[in-house]
Amino acid sequence: MASKYPGISELRQQLDSAQVSAVELAQAALQSAEQNKALNAFLDIQPESTMAQAKEADRRLAAGERSPLLGIPMAHKDIFVTQGWASTAGSKMLQGYQSPFDAEVVGRLNQAGSVNIGKLNCDEFAMGSSNENSAYGPCLNPWDHEAVPGGSSGGSAVAVAAGIVPYVTGTDTGGSIRQPASLCGITGIKPTYGSCSRYGMIAYASSLDQAGPMARSAKDCALVLNSMVGFDPKDSTCVQRPVSAEDFTAKFGQALKGGDAAKPLAGLRVGLPKEFYGEGLSSDVRAAIDVALKELQALGAELKDISLPRTQLSIPAYYVIAPAEASSNLSRFDGVRYGHRADKYTDLKSMYENSRSEGFGAEVQRRIMVGSYVLCHGYYDAYYLQAQKIRRLIAQDFQTAFKECDVIAGPVCPTVAWNLGEKSADPVQMYLADIFTLGASLAGLPGMSVPVGFGDKNRPVGMQLIGNYFQEADLLALADHYQNVTDWHARSPA
């Protein structure tokens, strides 16, 4: 089944054969964004800036330049600073802020010739699993407007699922690319930590934040990731690797373990963690995952039962480490150096209090307070240090598992998308939705979500694929083989 929304490859062919211009594609994307305004996916649109980029792309095309992303419309999660567009991180604390420079990821995509349509809604400072924590209101899931799109990259997932743009940027701290991709029925990948520069990405938890692409297919994600990754001396956590290692389309169409055209996954061992398939996983999600696993078997893959015994500990470990780093990163937003300043205050202390109370939403305040608490003298050893030890043990569990398998497969989220407001009153229930994604984030491993069907109320289901460090090309090739024999990724909301 062909998608009614063309992907990067289709648009590339149209541009290169002059069937359409970059300006026309940009105009169509802007019109689509306006038509889908009720979804609340965009926080800022600057048509003049967009058209300037499109005209430059047409100039480069007329000069004979050819590259995968040249002239293709896209949009950025509002966690990346972008010159000329608002950069708010979905927060009132940064309302109206415009950066004087571009994030490294934004700059790389600009060099590749992408045409930015605007900035996408997200949970405030990327803290959330439903996009309901945005200071500018939640996005609506295109498949069901009563459902959340997932978070924190909710606006990014919505923009692709609704067909506004063929690809977007997102960020993943504890699952914020994979989870909204799953709940909106698109493909998204979080690369190995350190693959993409964090320079210009408004920080939440620095040892966990990682940028990645979201698109309709694995092939499109690979094309975008090729332009996003690369060493950046401005980011001390960015990994320097040979350029030849960063072609994520290199294994497409190949048998991964020496199979043949009929069985391209022959010899591939797919690990199924028993902790991912037990109590808490809804039956509709389990059914869709089981059908997808049978497709992998039909392609030649071998399914193996494995164990990630500390899966349950990933939630308490993450929700100690991430808030601790957030309390440090967000301390700069005090109304003096950065961010919103309250109109009414009597002294310096009340200015701090009023500015931060007005600028930060409830979830951000909650995580700052938790993070400040666990870093306090007397509690650091009891909480933060112990959480870091557990993090190391979780990473070791994955390495033990990869001795038995080549890739790990399982659900992204325990359920399909829940209704707006359903979990807002209980933060712990919201945190539990991240149970299957947090482990890979804590370990710094690459992970992706691939659409595999629909569950309750005809809401999308995604399957998570986790690989060992820097094995993104294998994950994407595996997903591509699956998408060549299924059409879940090509389906679109009415």
Nearest to 367 by CA among 351, 382, 378, 356: 356
Cα angle: 301, vertex 302, 306; to 5 degrees: 130
Residue tagged active-site, from 21, 130, 134, 176: 176
Residue 171 tokens, joined: 């960020």
Six token digits for residue 114: 């992408």
SS3 state at 395: helix
The answer to whether 350 is a known catalytic residue is: no
Which of 21, 49, 67, 77 is flagged as catalytic? 77
Beta pairing, strands 447-454 & 187-190:
antiparallel
128 with 366: CB under 8 angstroms? no
Instruction: Collect all residues with Cβ–Cβ distance below 8 Å to 142 and sequence separation of at least 6.
Output: 36, 39, 149, 158, 161, 162, 184, 493
Q: What is the DSSP string of 213-271?
A: EEESSHHHHHHHHHHH----TT-TTPPP--GGGG-TTTTTTS-TTS--SS-TTTT-EEE
User: Which one of the listed residues 32, 114, 152, 182 is annotated catalytic?
Assistant: 152
Residue 86 φ/ψ region, left for φ over 0, alpha for ψ in the -120 to 50 degree band, beta for the rest: beta
Q: What are the distances in angstroms from CA 236 to CA 68, 198, 233, 375, 426?
A: 29, 9, 7, 23, 37
In angstroms, the CA 31 to CA 47 distance is 10
Q: How many CB atoms lie within 10 A of CB 260?
A: 9
CA distance 130 to 138: 8
**Could you tell me which of 237, 188, 175, 157 has the C-alpha nearest to residue 440?**
175
152 is catalytic: yes
In the structure encoding, which two tokens stand for residue 254, read together? 């190949």
DSSP string, 470-493: T-HHHHHHHHHHHHHH--GGG---
Active site residues: 77, 152, 176
